């Protein structure tokens, strides 16, 4: 029996000629075999080493740390994809970045008898995750360069929590799908430490308050190095408007699917004209800029 896809509540609001897209425009699991796993500080983590996939060993590859959303720790290795990290291990993305380590810490989430879950990212994880990052660097790398901290939904909120705790430990923040934006004093401290912000959320996000985001937009835009991406409609790479129903409509909340698609459409055009080479192109330019300022 074929189950009908639920009709999103905003179907009557979409632009004329637009269509609904219910699946990300990439094959999930294609690159899972490129990731290994280990444990530290009571937490499991997945990681990708570019030197095991055609890149020479060196001491300053960037490190991309991806933080998953709530309940995503419960889906096993599928969490690699849900964080948005999987395709950053692809040959294409790695070539654009010149090689990069990928690290995916996993929260100790668990199911409740009520059917919900608990144990997601909160302040109790700050110290273990900071130590896990150090253990990973010492155990699995010859040293790293620029650190990108990327988070999806609850992971995006935790991205800001980690950066608030240690504003001098991360170079680039990429929170996707959160309205938990720090106060001005924290933003000021991040700016003093040379942190770059790439903030992303859809205007019609079903979970996040865009009103809260707009209240903080001006301060984020005033950061010396920031990029604010808030599309009117979150779309998949096939150009369809994203609709994903997990008991409630949340397609507009899942902008990390677009980030995993490199913020590029399948026809080679960017999801934002300011990003002609997509997300990895922006990251490569950030790496180049930082190299020039060292």
CATH of the domain at 278: 3.40.50.1820
Distances (CA, A) of 136 to 40, 81, 140: 8, 20, 6
Q: Which pTM does this prediction carry?
A: 0.96
CA-to-CA distance for 93 and 90, rounded, in angstroms? 5
Specify if 210 maps to a domain. yes
User: Mean per-residue pLDDT for 105-116?
Assistant: 94
User: Which domain, by its residues, includes 171?
Assistant: 18-109+116-293
Specify if 256 maps to a domain. yes
**Total structural domains in the chain?**
1
- β-strands 20-21, 241-242: how paired? parallel
DSSP string, 180-211: -PPPHHHHHHHHHTT-EEEEE--TT-SSS-HH
Determine the pLDDT at residue 1.
Answer: 40
Specify if 7 maps to a domain. no
Specify if 10 maps to a domain. no
Tens-place pLDDT, residues 23-63: 999 999 999 999 999 999 999 999 999 999 999 999 999 99
- Report angle CA 152, 154, 155 to the nearest 5 degrees: 50
Specify if 89 maps to a domain. yes
Tens-place pLDDT, residues 230-252: 999 999 999 999 999 878 899 99
């Amino acid at each position: 029996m074929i189950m009908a896809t639920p009709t999103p509540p905003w179907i009557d609001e979409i632009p004329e000629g637009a269509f609904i897209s219910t699946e990300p425009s990439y094959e999930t699991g294609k690159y899972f075999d490129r990731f290994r796993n280990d444990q530290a500080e009571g937490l499991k983590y997945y990681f990708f080493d570019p030197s095991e996939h055609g890149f020479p060993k060196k001491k300053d590859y960037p490190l991309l740390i991806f933080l998953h959303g709530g309940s995503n720790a419960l889906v096993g290795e599928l969490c690699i994809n849900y964080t948005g990290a999987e395709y950053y291990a692809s040959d294409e993305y790695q070539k654009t970045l010149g090689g990069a380590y990928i690290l995916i810490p996993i929260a100790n989430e668990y199911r409740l008898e009520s059917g919900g879950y608990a144990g997601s990212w909160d302040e109790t994880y700050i110290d273990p995750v900071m130590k896990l990052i150090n253990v990973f660097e010492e155990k699995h790398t010859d040293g790293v360069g620029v650190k990108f901290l990327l988070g999806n939904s609850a992971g995006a909120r935790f991205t800001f929590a980690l950066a608030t705790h240690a504003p001098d430990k991360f170079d680039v923040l990429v929170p996707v799908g959160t309205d938990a934006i720090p106060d001005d004093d924290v933003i000021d401290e991040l700016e003093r430490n040379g942190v770059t912000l790439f903030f992303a959320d859809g205007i019609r996000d079903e979970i996040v308050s865009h009103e809260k985001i707009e209240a903080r937009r001006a301060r984020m835009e005033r950061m010396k190095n920031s990029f604010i991406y808030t599309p009117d409609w979150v779309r998949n790479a096939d150009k369809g408007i994203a609709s994903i129903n997990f008991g409630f409509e949340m397609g507009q909340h899942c902008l990390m699917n677009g980030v995993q698609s490199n913020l590029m459409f399948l026809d080679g055009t960017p999801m934002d004209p300011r990003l002609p080479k997509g997300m990895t192109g922006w990251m490569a330019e950030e790496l180049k800029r930082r190299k020039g300022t060292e």
